[in-house]
Amino acid sequence: MASLAFSASIGRSISPSNAMVSDKFESRREGFSLGKGTFARKRDPRDSMVPKVATQAPTVFPSLEKELAGDRNHVAWTSVRQERYEGELAVQGEIPLWLSGTYLRNGPGMWHVGDYNFRHLFDGYATLVRLHFENGRLIAAHRQIESEAYKAAKKNNKLCYREFSEVPKPDNFLSYVGELANLFSGASLTDNANTGVVKLGDGRVVCLTETQKGSIVVDPNTLDTLGRFEYSDSLGGLIHSAHPIVTDTEFLTLLPDLFRPGYLVVRMEPGSNERKVLGRVDCRGGPTPGWVHSFPVTEHYVIVPEMPLRYCAQNLLRAEPTPLYKFEWHPESKGFMHVMCKASGKIVASVEVPLFVTFHFINAYEEKDEDGRVTAVIADCCEHNADTTILEKLRLQNLRSFMGEDVLPDARVGRFIIPLDGSRHGKLEAALDPGEHGKGMDMCSINPAYLGKKYRYAYACGAQRPCNFPNTLTKIDLLEKKAKNWYEEGAVPSEPFFVARPGSTEEDDGVVISMISEKNGDGYALLLDGSTFEEIARGKFPYGLPYGLHGCWVPKK
C-alpha cells in the first residue's frame, strides 16, 4: 500500500497547493470506458490502471496495488492512471537554488483504447510531464496531448489513425480502398506527438513524432495543447526525423524521400514556420532511405546517416505488424554516412561504414590537424551492434514479462570516424568498453553547450544485468573511457537530461534530471549531480508514471 499511503500524505502535507491540485484533477475516462472495443484482442487485465468513474484525486485501486506487486506489472509499462495531474512534490535532499525553469518530458503513456491493448511501446498516446523547479521547490504535472488521434480514439472508443505498429481495422473492403488512399495522402497517419518535445528559438514549445502532422504546439506552463504546428512551406512529404537539432538560432531536420530514395536537409529560423532546403542527399543503398530517427551535426556540417534498417513501403501498407514494423533490414544495401556542408549544401564526404542500428545520435564534432584543417568528423551514437531485435524487445508484451532473464541485447557507444580526405570507407568502433555501462546504452543527452563540438561526457540509460530494458543511469567519460552508474533495484529510469549551472565553465557542472518508475508502482523525479553523479534530491510523485522518452528544458525568463 506504499503508493496509497504516499498519495494521502502528499495531500495532507502540501495544503496550499492541494486545493489547486484537486481543481486540476480530471477524469481521463470519458469516452474511453464506454462501449466495447471492436477488436478481437481484449485489454490485458494487467493494464487496468483505469478507474471506471470520474475521480477527483489520484485514487489507487486495491486491485492495482496487488497487480503492481510483481515484476510483470511494472508501472513503467502501464497506462497513466489519469488524464492530468498537478501538485507540489515533497522533496528529499536539496534542489539547487540556481535550478530555475521547467523540464518537460514527452512519451507514449497510454496504451489502450477501450478494451483494446496496443502492442508496442511507441504506439501509446502522448503523455507530457512537467517538472517546474523554483526556489528549491518542485511542482509536477502531467497531461495527455490532445492530438486528433487521441481525441478521435476517445470520441469513438476505437483506434482511428495508424500508429507506429497499430492500424485501424477497416469496416469493409470499400473502406479498405479508402484507407489505402488515405495512407498515400497521409490522412490516416497519426499525429500522436509522443516522441519528444523541443523549445524553438522563438519560445514556442513543440511536441513531435515521426509524422510531420504530429508536430503539436503546447503551453509549457499549463500543458494545454495549443494546436498543430503548420509548416508553411510546400516541401511536402509525410515524415521527418523525430529529433530535429534545435538551438536558439535554428531548427534543422531531415525529410526522408521514399520515392526517390534520399533525404532533404532543411532549416527553419526562429519565428518562422517555413523550412528551407539546405541540400539533398541521395541514398547510395536501396530500395528506400534508411530510417532516420535522429542525426547529428558538427559546427559546420550536417551528418546524414543511411542506416541499413530502411523504411519499407509494403510494411507501411500492411495491417498487421511485421517483426520490424514499418522497416526492413537490408544488410546487402550497406550502411553509409554522408557529410553535408551547412553553408553550401554540398556533400563533402560520403563513406561506407559497417552495418549499424541506432535510434539516437549522441553528438558529433570535427577533428582538425595542426593547421586547423578538418580531417575527419567523429559521430557518436547509441549503437545496438547492428542487431534489429531491439525493436521487438520494445513490444509491451516483452517489457511486461520480465522474469529475471537477461534479454536486453547488447549496445555500445558507436563511434563513427568519417575521414574528409575522399576515402571511400569510414570506421565504426566502440568509444569505450561497453562493459563500463553494462553493455546496454540508449536515451542519451549531453551538455547542450557542446552540441557539435568536441565533448567529453554523455549521459544515458545503461544496464545492470540481468534486465530486459535499460535500468541504470550512466555518465560516460569519453576521455577516460570510464562510466559512473546509478542503479536502484527494480527501477526504470527515463532519459537522463543534463541542465548546466548558469555561469558554469566545466562541461559536467550542472544537474541531471530523470524520472524513475519503481517496481512497487511508485515513482519520483531524481536529480543527480552532473559531476559526481550522486543523488542530490528526489521528489516523490503521488503515483508512478509510465516510462517517457525525451525532454527539453525551458529556462525561467
Ligand X SMILES: CC(=O)/C=C/C=C(C)/C=C/C1=C(C)CCCC1(C)C
Binding residues for Fe cation, as ranges, are 243, 293, 360, 550
Q: Which residue is associated with the grid cell 523541443?
A: 198
Out of 242, 255, 303, 390, the only residue in the binding site for ligand X (CB under 6 A) is 242
243 near ligand X (CB under 6 A): no
Asked whether 344 and 310 are in contact (CB, 8 A), the reply is no
Q: How far is the CB of 167 from ligand LQ5KYKQO (least distance, A)?
A: 20
Q: Which of residues 60-119 bind ligand X (CB under 6 A)?
A: 108
Hey, what's the cell of 497?
A: 537530461
| Gap between the Cα atoms of 197 and 216, Å rounded | 9
b vs e for 450-464, b when ≥16 Cβ sit within 10 Å of the residue's Cβ?
Answer: bbbebbebbbbbbbb
Q: Which residues are annotated as a binding site?
A: 243, 293, 360, 550
Catalogue the E-assigned strands of 190-230.
196-199, 205-208, 216-218, 225-228
| Gap between the Cα atoms of 12 and 211, Å rounded | 43
| Gap between the Cα atoms of 514 and 363, Å rounded | 20
211 near ligand X (CB under 6 A): yes
Q: Which of residues 354-373 bind ligand LQ5KYKQO (CB under 6 A)?
A: 359
Asked whether 165 and 104 are in contact (CB, 8 A), the reply is no
| Gap between the Cα atoms of 116 and 39, Å rounded | 6
Helix axes 15-24, 2-13, angle to 10 degrees: 110
Asked whether 516 and 73 are in contact (CB, 8 A), the reply is no
Stretch that binds ligand LQ5KYKQO, among 78-86, 94-102, 324-332, 440-448 (CB under 6 A): 440-448
* Residue 442 contacts which entry, ligand X, ligand LQ5KYKQO, none (Cβ below 5-8 A, type-dependent): ligand LQ5KYKQO
Stretch that binds ligand LQ5KYKQO, among 75-83, 155-163, 332-340, 435-443 (CB under 6 A): 435-443
Residue of 425, 393, 398, 396 whose CA lies nearest to 409: 393
What string marks each residue from 170 to 209 as x (binds ligand X by CB under 6 A) or -? -------------------xx---xx-------------x
Q: How far is the CB of 360 from ligand LQ5KYKQO (least distance, A)?
A: 7
| Gap between the Cα atoms of 194 and 551, Å rounded | 11
Is residue 309 classed as helix, strand or coil in its secondary structure? strand
* Residue 125 contacts which entry, ligand X, ligand LQ5KYKQO, none (Cβ below 5-8 A, type-dependent): none
Q: Which is nearer to ligand X, 110 or 376 (CB)?
A: 110
Stretch that binds ligand LQ5KYKQO, among 1-9, 126-134, 436-444, 475-483 (CB under 6 A): 436-444
Question: What is the total count of residues that contact ligand LQ5KYKQO (CB under 6 A)?
Answer: 9
* Residue 210 contacts which entry, ligand X, ligand LQ5KYKQO, none (Cβ below 5-8 A, type-dependent): ligand X
| Gap between the Cα atoms of 523 and 544, Å rounded | 4
Out of 51, 470, 510, 523, the only residue in the binding site for ligand LQ5KYKQO (CB under 6 A) is 470
* Residue 162 contacts which entry, ligand LQ5KYKQO, ligand X, none (Cβ below 5-8 A, type-dependent): ligand X
**Can you give the three-state secondary structure of 476-526, one letter per residue?**
EECCCCEEEEEECCCCEECCCEEEECCCCCCCCCEEEEEEEECCCCCEEEE
**Can you give the three-state secondary structure of 111-139, one letter per residue?**
CEECCEECCEHHHCEEEEEEEEEECCEEE
Stretch that binds ligand LQ5KYKQO, among 24-32, 223-231, 364-372, 438-446 (CB under 6 A): 438-446
190 near ligand LQ5KYKQO (CB under 6 A): no
Residues that bind ligand X (CB under 6 A): 108, 122, 162-164, 189-190, 194-195, 209-211, 239, 242, 316, 326, 549
Residues in touch with ligand LQ5KYKQO (CB under 6 A) = 195, 359, 390, 411, 440, 442-443, 470, 549
